[in-house]
Structure 1
Amino acid sequence: MEARERLDREYERLREQQADPARSSPTPAQWQSLADGYRNALRERPDVDTTRGLARALWRLSMTLHAAGDPAGALGPGRQAAAEFDAAFRKTLGWDADERSPAVDAVLAELLVARCDLAEAAAAAGKPGECIRMLEEAREAGHSMTAGHGITAGPRSLRALGTVHHNLSVAEMNRLLDGVRGGRIDVDRMAPALSASRAVEIRQKVLAPADPLSMWELANTYVQYLRCLGFVEEPTRAVGVTELAAQLVALLPRGTLADLRPQLAQAVAMLSAAYPAHARALDRALKAARPRRGWRRRGI
């Protein structure tokens, strides 16, 4: 126990150092050393906390390598992290299968986020097919683990599952565009829209007006959904989504990295060019947005 607690303190120290822009980030060697320490501790005490500690150290190692410009090198520890998070999740279920348990929710969320980060590394390493496979695995892991064990996803894991579906939609859209440019006729035009629609559904559930990030995440997915609707010939639905997106984007701060107005305008311009008969309705939906009190959710 003492060895793991020492490792946990070192993990927190490195994590805080990584989060502080005024300090130099931990090196891959530091994360590797910590992962090795957890491996040694795991041989002596193969409990859930040590397994989770190993998974988190490997996850940070993978992200550090990716950030340092070595996405290919990030894949190995990233895959190991995903496997260890899976083991930690199953061990957690072994002693606490309460669907409301923060422990179950936290481990499942980490498992899903780690797979999303691994997929990003695969895409950056020039492996788009592997990126999609990883996100599909994350999607299935999230849904099968909750359904298979009778667990209702908690707030953290539900939010992570929304990210999985959003990122999968983006990856599927990139695959679709590559296929269209290559003259392929067997590309699935519906897949990106279906993933985006599911991401919208999930992110509506976790939307909290007091949480600006949840608002930005849903607005970002609305924009992605609009891009997808242009490929499946759904201009009428796109008008409704534009109205929802515009209402939410109007609540976000202007002129910051969180400002999605340019992306929304670009998506609407693309739809207007593709479906001129709906251009006026799309423009009205875009310009009619006014921040409202008590913003309410609407389904699409």
Structure 2
Amino acid sequence: MEPEAREEFFERAREYSTRPAQWTQADALWVQVVEAYRQAVAGGQVDRHDQRQLARALWRHSMVLAGMGRHDRAKESGHEAVTLFAEIHQAVAAEHPDPTQPRRDEALGELITAMVDCGESAFVAGSPGVRLELLDKALGVGLHTAGPPPGAGPRTGAAMATAYHNYANALLHRHQQQGAASDAQEAALAGSRATELRLKALDPHQPITVWELANTYSIYAPALVATGDVERARLVIKQGILLTDLLDVAGAEIRQKLRATEVLVRQASASGGGRNWWPWRRR
């Protein structure tokens, strides 16, 4: 397949992937795209662009497969994507030691994102423990490579924000299932870090940044309630609802989550709201 045809097929498959009604078509197209890029990078000097496109195709295909419930194939494709992204980042790092350099920042951001998405696929497949392991590894890669996220490049910072957000969500889920106070505390800490990064990236002219911050507030607030910090949770809910008002219809689902947490805050306040208060926790 010629380079132009590969690019065209990739974009078509990516477009189909955004619409669940066309996931079957996307699946078939990604198989062709992956095979085309496999052939392109086989033998001889590897073109970095083709290698990156292969990793991206495998990653996007894994997301479609996970959405279709084909978890074994999704896991296989996702893990291969992570391996390739790691190889690409290693090669780029040899050329650009500074992790904030644009090409290095892009490579590191994609590696972290692929690891995070593999974790979410694992959760959907019924493996919450694997999700936590992958999220922990993703955060470790970012911290070890780029240092504290506020000083990282924009792509890495965005990927780390998502990783912290998902880590908070995963820990909060485990806390709700098992009641460990340490999980609630770690979830609140991760939520705080995700909030910091998303506040830094906030741009009123880019609605997606408003949505992402509001979405993180919808995780951060219940994590704070779970630690007993109801006053801070109340402030987070207030800020989150203000953001969802800006989003209008696009913020409806997040607003609903925030309102549900608001009920928990009122219940906690009425009962004295001590530390580690949580309505589902056994006493």
The question of a shared fold, defined as TM-score above 0.5 by the shorter chain, is answered with yes
Corresponding position: 1:14 with 2:13: yes
Q: CA offsets per residue over residues 184-223 of structure 1, 9 Å max, x none?
A: x575331111111110011011000111111111111112
Moved over 6 A (4+): 20-24
What is the distance in 1 between the residues matched to 2:259 and 2:150?
40
Corresponding position: 1:162 with 2:161: yes
Q: Give the aligned length.
A: 271
Give the one of 256, 263, 266 matched to 1:262.
Answer: 256
What SS is found at the alignment partner of 2:204? coil
What is the distance in 1 between the residues matched to 2:98 and 2:127?
38
**TM-score under structure 1 normalisation?**
0.80
**How far off is 1:22 after superposition?**
8.7
Q: Give the alignment of 1:130-279 within 5 angstroms.
A: 130-147=130-147, 152-180=151-179, 188-253=183-248, 256-259=249-252, 260-276=254-270
What is the distance in 2 between the residues matched to 1:209 and 1:109?
23
**How far off is 1:7 after superposition?**
3.2
Ranges in structure 1 where 5+ consecutive residues have no aligned partner = 280-300
**How far off is 1:3 after superposition?**
5.6
Q: Which amino acid aligns with 1:233?
A: G
1:263–1:186 distance in 2 versus 1, CA, 3 Å? closer
**How far off is 1:262 after superposition?**
1.9
Q: Is the Cα–Cα contact under 8 Å of residues 197 and 225 in structure 1 kept in the other structure?
A: yes
What is the distance in 2 between the residues matched to 1:21 and 1:167?
22
Corresponding position of 2:94: 94
What is the distance in 1 between the residues matched to 2:47 and 2:137?
25
Higher helix residue share: 2
Q: Which amino acid aligns with 1:258?
A: G
Q: Which amino acid aligns with 1:173?
A: L
Q: What percentage of aligned pairs have identical amino acids?
A: 32
What is the distance in 2 between the residues matched to 1:134 and 1:116?
7
**How far off is 1:170 after superposition?**
0.7
**How far off is 1:173 after superposition?**
0.8
Corresponding position of 1:116: 116
Q: Which amino acid aligns with 1:130?
A: V
What is the distance in 1 between the residues matched to 2:77 and 2:52?
14
Out of 115-124 and 13-22, give the one that drifted further: 13-22
**How far off is 1:141 after superposition?**
1.5
What is the distance in 1 between the residues matched to 2:26 and 2:216?
34
Ranges in structure 2 where 5+ consecutive residues have no aligned partner = 274-283
**How far off is 1:46 after superposition?**
2.7
Q: Is the Cα–Cα contact under 8 Å of residues 162 and 202 in structure 1 kept in the other structure?
A: yes
1:32–1:21 distance in 2 versus 1, CA, 3 Å? closer
**TM-score under structure 2 normalisation?**
0.84
Q: CA offsets per residue over residues 234-291 of structure 1, 9 Å max, x none?
A: 12222332332233233221xx242232221111111110222789xxxxxxxxxxxx
Q: Which amino acid aligns with 1:160?
A: A
Q: Is the Cα–Cα contact under 8 Å of residues 14 and 26 in structure 2 kept in the other structure?
A: no
Q: Which amino acid aligns with 2:61?
A: L
**How far off is 1:132 after superposition?**
0.7
- Cα RMSD over matched residues? 2.8
**How far off is 1:20 after superposition?**
6.6
What SS is found at the alignment partner of 2:203? coil
What is the distance in 2 between the residues matched to 1:191 and 1:151?
19
What SS is found at the alignment partner of 2:111? helix
Corresponding position of 1:41: 40
Q: Which amino acid aligns with 1:188?
A: D
Q: Is the Cα–Cα contact under 8 Å of residues 194 and 216 in structure 2 kept in the other structure?
A: yes
Q: Which amino acid aligns with 1:239?
A: R
Q: CA offsets per residue over residues 89-138 of structure 1, 9 Å max, x none?
A: 12122223455543223222222222222111100111000011111111
What is the distance in 2 between the residues matched to 1:210 and 1:163?
20
What SS is found at the alignment partner of 2:226? coil
1:186–1:268 distance in 2 versus 1, CA, 3 Å? closer
